[in-house]
Amino acid sequence: MKNLVVLESPAKVTAYVRGLWQTELFRTSDYVGAWVERFARHPAVFAEMSDSELEYPHFATWFGMTYLRHYPSAPAVSDLYYLHEIVHATLLDYDPEALFTAWYRKMNGIELSASLETECFVYLGVPGLRELSFKDEIWADRYLGGKSRLGDSLRDVIRQDRYKAMQHPDPMDWCEQQIAAYARQNFEWANMWKLEPSDEPKPAFVIVAEHMNALRAGKLSIQDHVAWLQARGEVPFVDQARLFAPLYWNNKLSYRLRHLSP
């Protein structure tokens, strides 16, 4: 975590995010603009990575900071990454009193919603985007022709099918297998946040929830938030980062190998 960009006001958040967009489609999209408007209701922090091996997989958006990533040869993918984090940040809420099981259900629900928005619904809301994004087949491809037939109910069909793919993936369907693998990865991620830091006698997920709840309620300033992040070292919540990174990179390699298999 280095070179933090601290955005105190809605105007600054909006202007900065608009500067991140690499495609004209995102710059002019009402669908994207509506998410940015919701995101800008709270101050925001962006940062470069100081240790990409640990920080690239680290879900810092959940504890109030979004890492900058660079996709020089894939501008649409860059836009989709930032939109995914913006949707996440917008949907997140923080209950310091929640038990782990309740927190786990909530986080998985938010992850599902953010994934549906930025892996499926965005293609319905931003015509022409699919041609600019991924060269290979994606799960959304099987639904993109259905809007004219099903209208708004298409979103319900997609959500229901996503649940099925997470729980009972077709062994012959690579996209569904990948979705199920991500769900298993999310389970492992959550377990890591049950751990207590050596210097604080409470689970890490509670520490984040307490702090972010106070920040969202206006009890802490954005400067207080930055000081809290920096007090946690170069990589905040480094134990979770170290535990999750090997799992993430191994899974990523597995996806690539499976996709390249004959």
Rounded distance between C-alpha atoms, residue 90 and residue 108, angstroms: 15
Within 8 A by CB and 6+ apart from 138, the residues are 119, 175
Kindly state the DSSP code that residue 23 receives in the 8-state scheme.
Answer: S
Mean pLDDT of 41-68: 96
- Digit-coded pLDDT (tens) for 72-114: 899 999 999 999 999 999 999 999 999 999 999 999 999 999 9
Kindly report the average pLDDT of the chain as a whole number: 90
Q: Beta strands of 8-116 (E only): which ranges?
A: 44-48, 66-67
Answer for the pair 96, 210: CB distance below 8 angstroms, yes or no. yes
Answer for the pair 191, 208: CB distance below 8 angstroms, yes or no. no
User: What pTM does this model have?
Assistant: 0.89
Instruction: Assign 185 to helix, strand or coil.
Output: helix
Count of structural domains, the chain = 1
Within 8 A by CB and 6+ apart from 185, the residues are 247, 248, 251
Rounded distance between C-alpha atoms, residue 126 and residue 149, angstroms: 18
pLDDT at 35: 98
In terms of residue numbers, what domain contains 77? 2-260
Answer for the pair 169, 184: CB distance below 8 angstroms, yes or no. no
- Digit-coded pLDDT (tens) for 191-239: 999 999 888 889 999 999 999 999 999 999 999 999 999 999 999 999 9
Within 8 A by CB and 6+ apart from 70, the residues are 78
Mean pLDDT of 238-249: 94
